[in-house]
Amino acid sequence: MPGEIYFDNNATTRVAPDVFEAMRPYFTEHYGNPSSIHRFGSQVGQKIAEARAQVAALIGAADPVEVIFTSCGTEGDNAAIRGVLEARPDKRHIVTTQVEHPAVLGLCQHLEKKGYRVTWLGVDPNGMLDLDELRGSLSDDTALVSIMAANNETGVIFPIDKIGAIVKARGIPFHVDAVQTAGRVPLDMRALPVDLLTISAHKFHGPKGVGALYVRRGIPFPPFIIGGHQERNRRAGTENVTGIVGMGKAAEIALAQLADDSERIGRLRDRFEESLLRSCPECRVNGQRQNRLPNTSNVSFRYLEGESILVLLDQNGICASTGSACTAGSSEPSHVLRAMGVPAEWLQGTVRFSLGRFNTEKEVDDVNQTLPSIVQRLQGLSALGKLASQEQPRGSRGREAKSIGARG
Ligand code: PLP
């Protein structure tokens, strides 16, 4: 769609042009099987080794063999959790949080039905974990702790270093879902007390359908797809060569641009939020201001429906989402916002705006022009919205709001 403004970069990102160019020859000229003995294939194997080193560099892994390519973040999360549990069959307790992505949440719910005991750590109204609650939840029976690095809906960043120190002091394996973090915030696996880490290429301008699972050397980890010898026998199956090459290139670019990208995107995000909060008195930003991904704004509009806002945004060529793309289509309010205790009148009217490398200041200003009038129009149509606007102190709403409200 020409002219669209894409503010949904937590759902997925545009493949960077250099990433696409790096992938192209592996569709056309270099189509050999990386496991083949002949040079035509084995050259492709060398390219995979290069991509592995690029991904290892992005996350600060000490050794590229710690990186296993997967088909996506969901696979990485599932493989990590199932792999650790299989390696420690005597332990039956898992610790995770109430705000995980469905890739972890859904699997842990499934495991709970299968007889595992799961501790679901809560969060405070800022979206933050209580580290004492975490400490108190660990026991000799704990097989694994799985906690995300940053939340996909709110962008709230968890203190993975502190969490890891608590978990590792008890000798328990620690898995981190860093799907929204890699390429946006520095990650250094040499320094972080983390054993397994999941990332996904399509969140940092790589292709869809390829991800990576980091497994620290020495962590007992059985193969999770059984078959051929690929990925050092840990994940069998002919490699997604083009995807892996693209992921490697995307990782290289993300690492080189990380500081600049996060600074620039953070400034755009702050500009967006400041203007929005000025022009829409009945809106609030969910999640703490500090320690939040620089690109994510989770905004609630009181008494409104997030989906109605999205439809009108879409009519204006603006892409955003109500929450995780993986929960789109469900009418349930977000489990993340519920865990944060967001009051009912704000829950349904939530929209996630997530910016990325290719967004511009002009786009931010265009959205800031369009969004307040959409909100005012919907408030004019909604009985509760009208109530909300009348609750405003005199003079706090402009003339435009009154005239649009009268039209509804
Ligand atoms: N974990 C988090 C935090 C995510 O945001 C996502 C995707 O949105 C996933 C896991 C799943 O990744 P993928 O889409 O590559 O399966």
pLDDT digits (tens, 9 = 90+) for 44-73: 999 999 999 999 999 999 999 999 999 999
82-104 burial: b if 16+ Cβ within 10 Å, else e: ebbbeebeebbbbbbbebbbbbb
pLDDT digits (tens, 9 = 90+) for 200-212: 999 999 999 999 9
Protein residue whose Cα sits closest to atom 8 of ligand 1? 11
What does the DSSP 8-state code read for residue 225?
B
In this structure, the residues whose C-beta lies within 6 A of any atom of ligand 1 are 72-74, 77, 101, 103, 148, 152, 177, 179-180, 200, 211, 324-326
281 falls in which pLDDT band (50, 70, 90)?
A: confident
Tell me the average pLDDT across 243-253. 98
408 falls in which pLDDT band (50, 70, 90)?
A: very low
Active site residue 326: yes
pLDDT of residue 322: 87
Q: pTM above 0.75? A: yes
Protein residue whose Cα sits closest to atom 9 of ligand 1? 73
Tokens of 177: 């879902």
Locate the ligand 1 atom nearest the alpha carbon of residue 12 and give its number: 8
Locate the ligand 1 atom nearest the alpha carbon of residue 200 and give its number: 15
Question: Is pLDDT of 389 > 70?
Answer: no
**330 CB-near residues (< 8 Å, 6+ apart):** none
pLDDT digits (tens, 9 = 90+) for 17-52: 999 999 999 999 999 999 999 999 999 999 999 999
Q: What is the mean pLDDT of the chain?
A: 92
Query: What's the CA gap between 397 and 68, in Å, rounded?
Result: 55
| Cα–ligand 1 centroid distance for 398 (angstroms) | 41
**328 vs 129, which has greater pLDDT?**
129
CA distances (Å), origin 81, targets 12, 93, 94, 120, 213: 24, 12, 9, 15, 11
| Cα–ligand 1 centroid distance for 207 (angstroms) | 13
Locate the ligand 1 atom nearest the alpha carbon of residue 11 and give its number: 8
Query: What's the CA gap between 218 and 169, in Å, rounded?
Result: 17
Of the candidates 280, 283, 319, 326, the residue annotated as catalytic is 326
Which SS3 state, helix, strand or coil, does residue 349 take?
A: coil
Question: Is pLDDT of 230 > 80?
Answer: yes
pLDDT of residue 324: 52
Protein residue whose Cα sits closest to atom 12 of ligand 1? 73
Rg (CA), the chain: 23
| Cα–ligand 1 centroid distance for 103 (angstroms) | 7
